[in-house]
């Protein structure tokens, strides 16, 4: 993926709106570095895409917000929805409609780029997925 993270997320929002009728709002703050580490933004996009997909598939939200924040040497992506939420401790367990590995995959993607993933969710109150990683290469 060579597109910038914000552009890719805008494209995702358009696709989600066309297919599911809910258009995620994408807000970007801070300044994107001129030469970010090449692996970081694609992984952050995939984390956001999985969070949005999970929200649509399992949460029935009427609102999804995607926030990207560049803060010096770090980038964070936060996906929040007002869907039905879930109990995070049981998210990776098999459910009656089949196994769900989205949370584990998002966590692995964050770890792959030296980042962290945090999920806050309460049944009936929506979900927030927050990923943060160093956006600059170690040698920059």
pLDDT digits (tens, 9 = 90+) for 32-58: 998 889 999 999 999 999 999 999 999
Q: Residue 65's domain spans which residues?
A: 5-134
In a domain, 20, yes or no: yes
Report the pLDDT averaged over residues 5-12: 96
**Per-residue DSSP letters for 50-111?**
HHHHHIIIII--S-EEEEEEEETTEEEEEEEE-S----GGGTTS-BTTB---HHHHHHHHHH
CA distances from 89 to 2, 66, 82, 102, 136 (A): 35, 23, 19, 13, 32
Report the pLDDT averaged over residues 89-104: 58
In a domain, 140, yes or no: no
Prediction pTM value? 0.88
Whether 94 shows a pLDDT value over 50: the answer reads no
Report the pLDDT averaged over residues 91-111: 70
| CATH number of the domain encompassing residue 62 | 3.30.565.10
Report the pLDDT averaged over residues 57-76: 94
In a domain, 55, yes or no: yes
Report the pLDDT averaged over residues 61-69: 97
Instruction: Give the number of domains in the chain.
Output: 1
In a domain, 22, yes or no: yes
Least reliable range by pLDDT among 35-44, 50-59, 67-76, 98-107: 98-107
């Amino acid at each position: 993926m060579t597109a910038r993270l914000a552009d890719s997320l805008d494209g995702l929002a358009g696709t989600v709106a066309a297919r599911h009728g809910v258009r995620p709002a994408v807000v970007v703050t801070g300044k994107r570095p001129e030469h970010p580490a090449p692996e970081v933004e694609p992984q952050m996009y995939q984390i956001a895409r999985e969070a949005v997909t999970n929200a649509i598939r399992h949460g029935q939200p009427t609102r999804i917000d995607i926030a990207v924040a560049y803060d010096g040497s770090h980038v964070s992506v936060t996906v929040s929805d007002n869907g039905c939420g879930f109990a995070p401790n049981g998210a990776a367990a098999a459910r009656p409609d089949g196994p769900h590995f989205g949370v584990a995959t998002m966590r692995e993607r964050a770890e792959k780029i030296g980042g962290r993933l945090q999920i806050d969710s309460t049944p009936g109150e929506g979900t927030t997925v927050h990923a943060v990683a160093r956006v600059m290469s170690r040698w920059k």
